[in-house]
Copies of this chain bind each other. A is one copy, B any other.
Amino acid sequence: MKRRTFLQHSAALAAVPLVGLPSSARGLTGASVARGAVAPLRVNAERLNGWLAAFDKIGRTPTGINRVAYSPADLEGRAFTLGLIKDAGLVPRVDSAGNIYARLAGTDASLKPILIGSHVDSVTDGGNYDGPVGSFSAIEVARSLRDQQVRLRHPVDVVIWQNEEGGTIGSKLAINDLTDADLDKVARSGKTIREGIGLVGGDVAKLKDAVKKSGDFACYIELHIEQGGLLEKAGLQIGVVEGIVGLRWFEVTITGFANHAGATPMNQRHDAMLAAAKFTVAVNEAVTGEPGRQVATVGRVNVLPNTTNVIPAQVVLTVDLRDLDRAKLTHFTERFEQLGRDIGTATGTTFAFKRLVDSEPALANAQVMSWIESSATALGLTKQRMPSGAGHDAQEIARIAPMGMIFVPSVGGISHSPKEFTTAADVAHGADVLLNAVIAADLG
């Protein structure tokens, strides 16, 4: 279908059957919808969920969805996605970083695009919702705007970031945040990022062409599954993301002294595992003992010599600390280091901290949050503001554009698992909010 100006809408209306769409959706400006003058628009939920169902077959293995970046299944997934974009009447473009863009033109050539999208790669043994829900909804939003002949002033750019699960690689390339050395890191598929960029249709020699600058986009809005259980537990339909938490990863090496588990009295031990256990409990008590939504996890623990009858000589463990507030990250970092010193003294062990990762919180833009919020309200959906504990491409793009994210509930709070699931109704709610938030953003 060719693009039409808003002035052409009335003429087109008579010719195009709009089965199943509310009559209020026909021939509207974004302004009239966003101002609440008419009922909010809705996407074609059946079509959107149909895409998700079809996509579930790509990379499906007995242990879950495996569309890890640069794998054959990822390439198949991208091809499927390109097909959806084309079916929506848009022209997809793979940039030199391997990110897919597609533009729905606006009426005002002086305005910057509203960017919407997500990713379609998966973790190992993951699910079908983390990424595709936001990606396909963005395509569906563009398609719905076209189908419903709602012509916005701003262009709408749909984006599918490559290799989100490998560390928001595509969006990092878009903000020029990867070094040449980073490109040689091996992704889960076994390919380096450098190789992967070529495989997905990019061009490592021209990566600069893919870099976006501050001001290039009017805003960025990403719909995503929550990956936690807050919305489900609260019985709410929409999460209005306040930001993506900052993340600190520590590797803590606790050194004691190996000795005979039978012959060494309890008061003569330097038990690295006992120290590690006390530290794990203390970290948990520290973060739960203060108000706030900070989280900390001891996820990886390796014990030496790891033998039943030998007192552990050394434990290497990791702490994953996250919060939306940078000051809290600093506060808990100091607290954990102090706990290590105290427990080391008490147990006759030493604690050494190494910071593996240190990423800043990425705050959502207040205006974008309000567009999301008012859209949910107009759609009669229940909502709450909340942080994103998981990382997203939005955290990178927040550095060059006003950013907002929409969350929809994950059943059981489960993600990165074959059990990952979001209901078709909730997918539709999220896409509807995205559609109306884009319309609100267009009004500005």
- Interface residues, chain A, with chain B CB atoms under 8 Å away: 226-230, 233, 245, 247, 249, 258-268, 271, 273-274, 276-281, 284, 287-288, 293, 295-303, 306-312, 318, 320, 322, 356, 388-391, 413-417
Contact A260 B416 (CB under 8 A): yes
Main secondary structure of the interface of A (DSSP, over half): mixed
Would A258 and B417 count as touching, CB distance under 8 A? yes
Asked if B261 and A320 sit within 8 Å, CB to CB, the answer is yes
Q: Which residues of B contact A320 (CB under 8 A)?
A: 261-262, 308-309
Name the contact of A274 in the complex, choosing from B247, B298, B307 (C-beta under 8 A): B298
Residue in A262, A288, A295 whose Cβ sees the most chain B Cβ within 10 Å: A262
Distance between A9 CB and nearest chain B CB, rounded to angstroms = 41
Q: Would A274 and B264 be within 8 Å (CB), given that A300-B306, A308-B299, A414-B259 are in contact?
A: no
Closest to A264 in B: B228
Q: A356 contacts which chain B residues (CB < 8 A)? A: 308
In the complex, which residue of chain B has the Cβ closest to the Cβ of A130?
B260
Q: Are B280 and A266 in contact (CB under 8 A)?
A: no
B262 A273 Cβ-Cβ under 8 A = no
Instruction: Please indicate the chain B residues that have their CB under 8 angstroms from the CB of A249 in the complex.
Output: 308-309
A295-B389 in contact (CB<8A): no
Is B295 within 8 A of A264, CB to CB? Answer: yes
CB <8 Å contact, A307 and B301: no
Report the Cα distance A260→B415, complex, angstroms.
7
12 contacts between A and B (CB under 8 A): A228-B260, A233-B268, A247-B262, A259-B414, A262-B391, A264-B413, A266-B287, A266-B296, A273-B280, A277-B279, A299-B308, A299-B311
Contact at B280–A274, with CB atoms within 8 Å?
yes
**Given the complex, which residues of B lie within 8 Å of A416, measured CB to CB?**
260, 310
Let me know if A262 and B389 touch, CB within 8 A: yes
Pick from B258, B284, B302, B390: contact of A260, CB under 8 Å = B390
A43 CA to B302 CA in the complex, in Å?
48
| Contact residue among B229, B307, B309 (Cβ-Cβ distance under 8 Å from A268) | B229
Cα of A309 to Cα of B250 in the assembled complex, Å: 11
Please state if A271 and B259 are interface contacts (CB–CB under 8 Å).
no
Bound Cα distance from A276 to B303, whole angstroms: 13
A264 near B308 (CB under 8 angstroms)?
no
Residues B293 and A311 in contact, CB atoms below 8 Å apart: no
Residue from the list B229, B263, B276, B307 in contact with A389, Cβ < 8 A: B263
Q: How far is the CB of A346 from chain B (nearest CB, A)?
A: 11
- A281 B284 Cβ-Cβ under 8 A: no
A300 touches B293 (CB 8 A): no
Question: Given A301-B303, A308-B320, is A413 in contact with B261 using a C-beta cutoff of 8 Å?
Answer: no
Which residues of chain B come closer than 8 Å to A322, judged between CB atoms? 261-262
Are the C-beta atoms of A273 and B301 separated by less than 8 Å? Answer: yes
CB distance from A44 to the nearest CB of B (A): 29
15 extra interface residue pairs, beta carbon distance < 8 Å, beyond A263-B413, A308-B320:
A227-B262, A228-B259, A228-B263, A247-B262, A260-B389, A262-B322, A262-B388, A263-B415, A265-B295, A265-B389, A266-B288, A273-B301, A274-B284, A276-B280, A301-B303
Which of B277, B279, B299 is the one whose CB lies under 8 Å from A298? B277
State how many angstroms separate the Cβ of A122 from the closest Cβ of chain B.
Answer: 14
B311 touches A297 (CB 8 A): yes
Interface-centre pick from A260, A299, A306 (highest chain B CB count, 10 A): A260
Contact A390 B263 (CB under 8 A): yes
**Which residues of B lie under 8 Å from residue A230 when comparing CB positions?**
265, 268
Bound complex: CA A293 to CA B389 (Å): 47
When distances are taken between beta carbons in the complex, the residues of chain B under 8 Å from A307 are 299-300
Point out the residues of chain B lying under 8 angstroms from A264, CB to CB: 228-229, 295, 389, 413
Partner of A228, one of B268, B279, B299: B268
Residue of A276, A301, A306 most packed against chain B (CB within 10 A): A301
* Residue of B whose beta carbon sits closest to that of A225: B263
* Minimum CB–CB distance for A361 against chain B, Å: 12
Contacts of A267 in B (CB 8 A): 288
